[in-house]
Structure formats: structure tokens, C-alpha cells
């Protein structure tokens, strides 16, 4: 299939994994993952610490290569692409990290503009550090996440919740087809957590962008996402509509007797 046509996301799934696995030395972080995620879907990855959520997000943004099976992002197997076409696909996948990866001693605008770096030539990136470029786009993104007044504030003077919004604004100016978020609320109090989850859900609804997030909080996963994928010890133990996630699913995820429970949850 032609690469450009495949990248518009309408004719092909956003993500397609076939028997995908990932091994780090002796650790099997993921195994046998079979998955399709379509345009506009909101999907939460849930499971205990070490279940493989971050590793799966790494496969989805192409920062981790599968050691087994196949991963297609916007119809493309990154291993078959040259560097520039690989980067073009990866630009369509925005990522909000658990550690926000903000440069704290820079002003907010520079961190937001970080989302444009994949689009900008080097001279522009350097020039913008001295004299910020594309200020209007950055300001619009900050307005959308509710902190318009922080454009020229130093990032380390912002609260944790505000810094999380800067990370979201940075993804907005990148304007990807899909937003991935790795535990976007793990360091926030309950009120800020709800505000950030509402924001991510609303952005996905407004723009039609696919949203895939890992979450420890199953209640937020069920209230803000349409589909939940449960991971345990690197395997998918359920993949179903949020409304259909019941106690048996949660027992498969967190219960003692994982083997028997996961069999039942998959029936
Ligand atoms: N770069 C790496 N090198 C070695 N082992 C790794 C690496 N990344 C992940 N692992 C291992 O793979 C497994 C899955 O880790 P992963 O970070 O995907 O889990 P997680 O579900 O995101 O956990 P958490 O909820 O704590 O973030 C763990 O056993 C982890 O130790
Ligand atoms: Mg993780």
C-alpha cells in the first residue's frame, strides 16, 4: 500500500499487532499480543506494575521494536522503512510520558514548541530558543488546556497538574493522529487527576484523535475510555468494551489465581 495514503488513518487501523512480543534479556515483557485499534478509539491499558503497559506503548510509538511478531503503525511496519519515512510515521504518534520530559528551567512556550521539533529544520529549532516562533499556535494549545496565562512562565514554577497540561499542549501542537499517554495522572491528586482525564477524553472526542493510555486507576479507565485492555505478566487477559469489564475481568488482572481467572474472563 502507498505510504501516504496509508497514513491518513481512515483506510487502515491505527495500530495492528500480530503475535507481538518483547523480550528484554531474560524478561518476557510482552508475549503473543493480538490487537487492532481503529481511528478515534479511546483505549485504556490496565494491569499491575510490571504487567507490560509501558512496553506496549513503546511498541505503539515505535520506540521499542518487537522481538517477536509484527507491529503496524498506520499500516506501516517500521522495520521495513528507511529513517525519514519511519520518522514521518512516528510524528503521527504523540506521546505523553509518565515522567513528563519537560525542560524545567525553560519557559513554558519552549516546552510546548518542543512538539514541533519533528516538523522543524534544525535552524528553526535553535532560532526559536532565542526568539520563540509560532507563538500563536503554542498560545492556542495552552488556552485549550486551560493555562493560557503561563506562556512565558518558567516551567519549574508550575504545579504538577499545570506541568501535565504543558505536556498535553506540546502534543497538541505536534498535531498527531494518535495520542499515547503513559500513566498521565500518576503524580496528581484526585481533583487534578479528574481534570486531566476529562481534558484527554474531550480532546479525543473533539478532534477524533485516537487515545491510548495506561492507567492504574480502573475506575477512571472505565469512566473515560470505551475499551479496556487488561495486561498481566505480559499477556492480554481481556480486551473488551468498558461497560463489559466485570469483576471476573478484574480478578483476572489482580487476583491470586491468574491462570484460572484469565481463562474465565476470556470466555
Ligand atoms: N528496558 C528494559 N530493560 C529490561 N527490562 C525491562 C525494560 N523495560 C521493561 N522491562 C521489564 O518488562 C516488564 C514490563 O515492564 P513495563 O514497564 O512495561 O510494565 P508496566 O506495566 O508499565 O509497569 P508500571 O505500572 O510499573 O509502569 C517488567 O518486568 C520490567 O522490569
Ligand atoms: Mg509503566
Residues 121 and 119: their CA atoms lie apart, in Å, by: 7
Q: Give exposure, 148-173, as e/b (b: 16+ Cβ within 10 Å).
A: eebbebebeebeebbbbbbbbbbbbb
97, 182 Cβ separation under 8 angstroms: yes
How far is CA 175 from its chain centroid? 13
Determine, yes or no, domain membership for 220: no
Q: Is the pLDDT of residue 236 over 90?
A: yes
The best mutation among 30, 53, 183 to test binding of ligand 1, ranked by most ligand atoms within 8 Å of the C-beta, falls on: 53
46, 218 Cβ separation under 8 angstroms: yes
- The ligand 1 atom nearest the CA atom of 55: 18
Q: What pLDDT, on a 0 to 100 scale, did the predictor assign at position 125? A: 67
pLDDT per residue over 117-166, tens digit each?
767 676 766 666 666 667 888 898 899 888 999 999 999 899 888 898 89
Q: What pLDDT, on a 0 to 100 scale, did the predictor assign at position 24? A: 95
Cβ-based neighbours of 68, under 8 Å, separated by 6 or more: 19, 20, 21, 22, 23, 31
pTM for this entry: 0.86
Q: pLDDT confidence of 226, banded at 50, 70, 90?
A: very high
Q: How far is the CA of 54 from the centre of ligand 1 (A)?
A: 7
3-state secondary structure of 143: helix
Determine, yes or no, domain membership for 164: yes
Nearest to 3 by CA among 69, 62, 80: 80
pLDDT per residue over 53-66, tens digit each?
999 999 999 999 99
34, 1 Cβ separation under 8 angstroms: no
pLDDT per residue over 158-176, tens digit each?
988 889 889 999 888 888 9
Q: How far is the CA of 85 from the centre of ligand 1 (A)?
A: 28
Determine, yes or no, domain membership for 190: no
Determine, yes or no, domain membership for 265: no
Of all protein residues, whose CA lies closest to atom 25 belonging to ligand 1?
49
- The more confident residue out of 17 and 95 is 17
Q: What pLDDT, on a 0 to 100 scale, did the predictor assign at position 186? A: 83
pLDDT per residue over 14-28, tens digit each?
999 999 999 999 999
252, 47 Cβ separation under 8 angstroms: no
Determine, yes or no, domain membership for 76: no
**What share of the chain has pLDDT > 70, as a percent?**
85
Q: pLDDT confidence of 102, banded at 50, 70, 90?
A: confident
Q: pLDDT confidence of 116, banded at 50, 70, 90?
A: confident
Determine, yes or no, domain membership for 154: yes
Q: How far is the CA of 54 from the centre of ligand 2 (A)?
A: 4
- The ligand 1 atom nearest the CA atom of 98: 27
pLDDT per residue over 41-52, tens digit each?
999 999 999 999
Residues 267 and 257: their CA atoms lie apart, in Å, by: 16
Instruction: Spell out which residues have Cβ within 5 A of ligand 2, the ion.
Output: 53-54
Determine, yes or no, domain membership for 45: no
Determine, yes or no, domain membership for 5: no
Q: How far is the CA of 130 from the centre of ligand 2 (A)?
A: 35
Residues 239 and 257: their CA atoms lie apart, in Å, by: 19
Q: What is the CA radius of gyration of the chain?
A: 19
Nearest to 12 by CA among 25, 23, 24, 3: 3
Q: Which residues line ligand 1 (CB under 6 A)?
A: 24, 27, 29, 47, 49-55
3-state secondary structure of 15: strand
Query: For residue 58, which ligand has an atom nearest its CA?
Result: 1
CATH of the domain at 152: 3.40.50.300
Q: Where are the alpha helices (DSSP H) in the chain?
A: 3-7, 53-61, 83-91, 108-113, 122-130, 135-144, 160-174, 190-207, 218-224, 247-254, 258-266
Of all protein residues, whose CA lies closest to atom 30 belonging to ligand 1?
50
Residues 262 and 117: their CA atoms lie apart, in Å, by: 43
Q: What pLDDT, on a 0 to 100 scale, did the predictor assign at position 134? A: 74
Q: pLDDT confidence of 5, banded at 50, 70, 90?
A: very low
The structural domain count of the chain equals: 1
Considering the chain, what is the average pLDDT of its residues?
86
Q: Which domain holds residue 158?
A: 93-175
Q: What pLDDT, on a 0 to 100 scale, did the predictor assign at position 234? A: 96
Amino acid at each position: 500500500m502507498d505510504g501516504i495514503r496509508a497514513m491518513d488513518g481512515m483506510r487502515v487501523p491505527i495500530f495492528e499487532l500480530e503475535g507481538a512480543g518483547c523480550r528484554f534479556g531474560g524478561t518476557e515483557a510482552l508475549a503473543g499480543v493480538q490487537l487492532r485499534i481503529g481511528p478515534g478509539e479511546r483505549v485504556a491499558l490496565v494491569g499491575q506494575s510490571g504487567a507490560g503497559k509501558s512496553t506496549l506503548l513503546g511498541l505503539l510509538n515505535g520506540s521499542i521494536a518487537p522481538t517477536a511478531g509484527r507491529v503496524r503503525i498506520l499500516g506501516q511496519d517500521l522495520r521495513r522503512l528507511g529513517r525519514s519515512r519511519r520518522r514521518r510515521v512516528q510524528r503521527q504518534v504523540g506521546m505523553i510520558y509518565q515522567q513528563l520530559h519537560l525542560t524545567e528551567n525553560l519557559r513554558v512556550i519552549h516546552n510546548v514548541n518542543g512538539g514541533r521539533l519533528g516538523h522543524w529544520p534544525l535552524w528553526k529549532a535553535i532560532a526559536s530558543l532565542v526568539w520563540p516562533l509560532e507563538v500563536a499556535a503554542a498560545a492556542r494549545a495552552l488556552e485549550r488546556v486551560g493555562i493560557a496565562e503561563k506562556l512565558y512562565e518558567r516551567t519549574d514554577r508550575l504545579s504538577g497538574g499545570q506541568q501535565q497540561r504543558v505536556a498535553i499542549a506540546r502534543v497538541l501542537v505536534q498535531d498527531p493522529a494518535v495520542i499515547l499517554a503513559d500513566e498521565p495522572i500518576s503524580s496528581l491528586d484526585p481533583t487534578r487527576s479528574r481534570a486531566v482525564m476529562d481534558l484527554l477524553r474531550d480532546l479525543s472526542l473533539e478532534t477524533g484523535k485516537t487515545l491510548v493510555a495506561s492507567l492504574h486507576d480502573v475506575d477512571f479507565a472505565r469512566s473515560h475510555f470505551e475499551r479496556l485492555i487488561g495486561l498481566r505478566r505480559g499477556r492480554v487477559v481481556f480486551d473488551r468494551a468498558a461497560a463489559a469489564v466485570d469483576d471476573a475481568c478484574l480478578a483476572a488482572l489482580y487476583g491470586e489465581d491468574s491462570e484460572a481467572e484469565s481463562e474465565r474472563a476470556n470466555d
